[in-house]
Structure 1
Amino acid sequence: MTRRHQHEVSALRLFAGKRILIVEDEYFVADETRKALLAAGAQVIGPAPTVDIGMSMIDREIVDAAILDIRLEGETVFPIAERLQGLAVPFVFATAYVDADIPEKFGGYLLCEKPTALAEIATALFASKPLNH
């Protein structure tokens, strides 16, 4: 096993036992992310294809972290990001739009291109210190 592969496996273990909300309107991307999270030992909430559904999931479920697509069927995910930020729940933006206009108040949150790099996301969400390479 290469060092990079070992790092990715270690990073994915950070998802184990965590309740992860997926907010994504593209079915195949959402399903691929859901399957990968389940394989890493996470409990998946969603996927939520709209802001309203995502908000209702936050209201009903305990969420440890979230992976948010920025653009959802003509709306942006920023109301969900604000709610999560207010609850001190870590999240990352995962989007195909590298030039996405993210409000400055969310500037500290990781922006990943699709397809989602789950090892990178796990590290951003849960690693309190860098993982050994």
Structure 2
Amino acid sequence: MIVSKLTGRRVLVVEDEILIAVMIEEVLLDLGCIVVGPIGKLEAAMQLARDEALDMAILDVSIRGGYVYPVAERLLARDIPIILASGYGGWALPENLRDQPRLTKPFTTQELESQIRACCRQV
């Protein structure tokens, strides 16, 4: 087994579309990551962002309960890198989150893996 920089990284997945959540989870597991979630509700995501030991997060911008912005801000305040996933362009994000890595839906597994690897280099 090849051990990479991603092996054992704890990654929060906040996604309320089950097929997308499963795809993200499969890619993360293939990379050796530990998946926290997936979570599809804002309140539960916020609790994990506050309390859970995490190395990075992949956040769907729009989930049940509203927008994921408070979760993103909490994670960034803890110096946990994030990747935002959305069908909208950067213009739709709050100004303070526009410089964060993004995946534009629909995205491929290759695009997802590339963003995860780039995010890991920040850690």
TM over 0.5: yes
Aligned-partner Cα distance in 2 for 1:30–1:100: 24
Equivalent residue letter for 2:70? P
Counterpart of 1:51 (choices 42, 48, 73) is 42
2:120: which partner in 1? 126
2:98: which partner in 1? 107
SS of the residue 2:84 aligns to: strand
SS of the residue 2:92 aligns to: coil
Asked if the contact 2:103–2:112 (Cα under 8 Å) also holds between the matched residues in 1, the reply is no
User: Larger Cα Rg: Structure 1 or Structure 2?
Assistant: 1
Equivalent residue letter for 1:15? L
SS of the residue 1:81 aligns to: helix
Runs of 4+ residues over 4 Å off in structure 1: none
Aligned-partner Cα distance in 2 for 1:95–1:15: 24
Seen in structure 2, the aligned counterparts of structure 1 residues 24 and 41 have a Cα distance that, compared at 3 Å, is same
Residue 118 of structure 1 deviates from its aligned partner by: 2.1
Matches within 5 A, 1:82-97: 82-97=73-88
Residue 24, structure 1, aligned to residue 15, structure 2: yes
Residue 74 of structure 1 deviates from its aligned partner by: 5.4
Seen in structure 2, the aligned counterparts of structure 1 residues 100 and 53 have a Cα distance that, compared at 3 Å, is farther
Aligned-partner Cα distance in 2 for 1:98–1:14: 30
- In structure 1, the gaps of 5 or more residues are 1-12, 129-133
- What does the per-residue CA deviation read over 1:74-126, in whole Å, with 9 as the maximum and x for residues that have no partner? 51000100100110100010122236611111122011113352222123312
Residue 66 of structure 1 deviates from its aligned partner by: 0.2
SS of the residue 1:15 aligns to: coil
Q: Which has the higher contact order (CA 8 A, sep 6+)?
A: 1
1:69: which partner in 2? 60
Could you state the TM-score of these two structures normalised by the residue count of structure 2? Answer: 0.84
Residue 15 of structure 1 deviates from its aligned partner by: 2.5
- In structure 2, the gaps of 5 or more residues are none
